[in-house]
Structure 1
Amino acid sequence: MESMKTTGGISSKSNENGKRCAVSADKLKDKEMADLIRVSGASTFFTLVRFQAPEEFSSCGTDETQSENFESLKQDESFSNSLEEAKTILRGIFTPRIWELNGKMWMRKIDISPASREDVKYLTELLDIKLKEHMAQTTGICQKRRELYTQLFEELIRQSIITCTERGLLLMRIKNEQKQTLIGYQTLYEHSLQYGIKKMSETKFNLDILREKARTLERDITRLKEDVSLLKQNLHQTKIKTEEELSTESDRHDQEVQLYNRRNIQLKLQIDLMPPQFMGISSSSYS
């Protein structure tokens, strides 16, 4: 027969051999209020941050409903003051969750019970389970993985504020700084994306202009090629015509030269055949 016992912030159980082993108090709480969470609809608002059991809004009491662990710690007056301060800070950071289901108002307040080592182990198990359930990516950008790790960080802040308020607030500052850095990177990414889209649109517009200009130049090239081809044809025809005219003129010139040569020869023969007297008379008459 197993028996359960809670002492301080640690829960334990006895097995059949009578040996006691540590058990997570948070795990026991989750088992005890599982039906209440399902009935109240709180299961749709899952978070790794520890909250108290859901209560009807009209019947929500004070912090006296906290676990015995917290009540036992309040016996120390010095620690009680720090817990009161931690409670005030936690109430400011983690506001109560209020929702309506089937006409009933429900509320869950932040849990201000300290966490034990076993509770941290249980928190690790929950994280691994939720990462697998949501099929979160192990690398790269994954929105669900980031949400779960943000909740984990907030739960660690809650635990730290209870045990050491200053350390918890310092972790809160780190979380806010990381959030601001992430927002800065996200803004830079969005601006880069907008710039890229703008440049892509400009490039597309310029590309259309360049394509139209290329088509115009191609038409001009085609027209100029046609002009060159026409000019070559005209040049060829002109060359042929010029050669024909030159050949004709050369033949005519040769014929005229030959004609004058024949006449010259005939005149020489006529002169040679003339009588000497005629040649003398002709010479004296000229003298």
Structure 2
Amino acid sequence: MPYLYRGSSAPQPAQQKATSHQPTASSPVPTPSKPKTLTVELNKEKTEDILHAILPPRVCTEGNKLWVQLVSSTPGTRIDVIKLQEQLDLKLQQMQARETGICPIRRELYSQCFDELIRQETISCTERGLLLLRVRNEIRMCMAAYQTLYESSVAFGIRKVLQSELGKAETERKRQALEKDKRDLEQQVKDTWAKCEAIKIREMEQREAEDRKHAEEIEFLKRTNQQLKFQLAGITQKK
């Protein structure tokens, strides 16, 4: 994605590119008698080298030609800053970036905007531009660390979810096994109670039968005893 605004011109073929500090045919050739102009040219060349180190040239291929796009060394004006802000707002709206929360689109656009500000500040003051570059690199490093931490936490959460799902399945199997054992034990208890009731009824019936038999034996013995008494009394009266 191109930067929002760099003030750069259209890409030039690699074999025909020229830096902005090279003199043209219509430009006056600096002479050794003007050391101030030479110093300005040297500072400009140094600034361009720093700009190219901060924002490397872009290389692309179109057909059989290799194109290189260099960052512009034109100083930014107040109008450029206003245009930059307008383009930022327009891009945020066109690309439907979220206003809050994590949004890669909004982050990329603001990163491009910050690169343009670094370019403008580097042209105005090299030291200030390098300091802003340190700030940008620190922010990117922190964002990368936060992203790594977020990805690690997400992976950790997924592992915990999978482990909980596996543990849940194992617990469910144990629960079903315990419920089956419970039903079996309850059935055993019912069977045992049924056996106890059957044994109790059988013992009661057997006891009642023995009681009836014992009562019949006693009644038989009583009748026999009564008969023997009658016989003994008859024998006694005959004598």
TM-score bracket, shorter-length normalisation: 0.7 to 0.9
Aligned pair 1:241/2:202, yes or no? yes
Change (3 A) 1:61 1:268: same
Query: What residue is the counterpart of 1:216 in the other structure?
Result: 177
Q: How far, CA to CA, are the matches of 1:108 and 1:90 in structure 2?
A: 13
Q: How far apart are 1:62 and its partner, in Å?
A: 2.4
Identity %: 35
Q: How far, CA to CA, are the matches of 1:65 and 1:131 in structure 2?
A: 37
| Count of residues in Structure 1 that have an aligned counterpart in Structure 2 | 226
Query: What residue is the counterpart of 2:2 in the other structure?
Result: 46
Aligned pair 1:187/2:148, yes or no? yes
Which one has the bigger strand percentage?
1
- Secondary structure at the residue paired with 2:66? strand
Contact 1:49–1:154 (CA under 8 A) maintained in structure 2: no
Unpaired runs of 5+ in structure 1? Answer: 1-44, 67-74, 279-287
Query: What residue is the counterpart of 1:63 in the other structure?
Result: 20
- Secondary structure at the residue paired with 2:21? helix
Q: How far apart are 1:203 and its partner, in Å?
A: 2.0
Unpaired runs of 5+ in structure 2? Answer: 24-35
Query: What residue is the counterpart of 1:17 in the other structure?
Result: none
Taking only aligned residues, the RMSD between alpha carbons, in angstroms, comes to 2.8
Contact 1:53–1:108 (CA under 8 A) maintained in structure 2: yes
Query: What residue is the counterpart of 2:82 in the other structure?
Result: 121
Query: What residue is the counterpart of 2:162 in the other structure?
Result: 201
Q: How far apart are 1:89 and its partner, in Å?
A: 1.4
Q: How far, CA to CA, are the matches of 1:178 and 1:272 in structure 2?
A: 136
- Secondary structure at the residue paired with 1:113? coil
Contact 2:13–2:66 (CA under 8 A) maintained in structure 1: yes
Give the alignment of 1:1-287 within 5 angstroms.
45-50=1-6, 51-64=8-21, 83-266=44-227, 275=236
Contact 2:21–2:41 (CA under 8 A) maintained in structure 1: no
Greater relative contact order (Cα 8 A, min sep 6): structure 1 or 2?
2
TM-score (norm 1): 0.69
Q: How far apart are 1:216 and its partner, in Å?
A: 2.3
Contact 2:54–2:133 (CA under 8 A) maintained in structure 1: no
Matched letter for residue 70 of structure 2: K
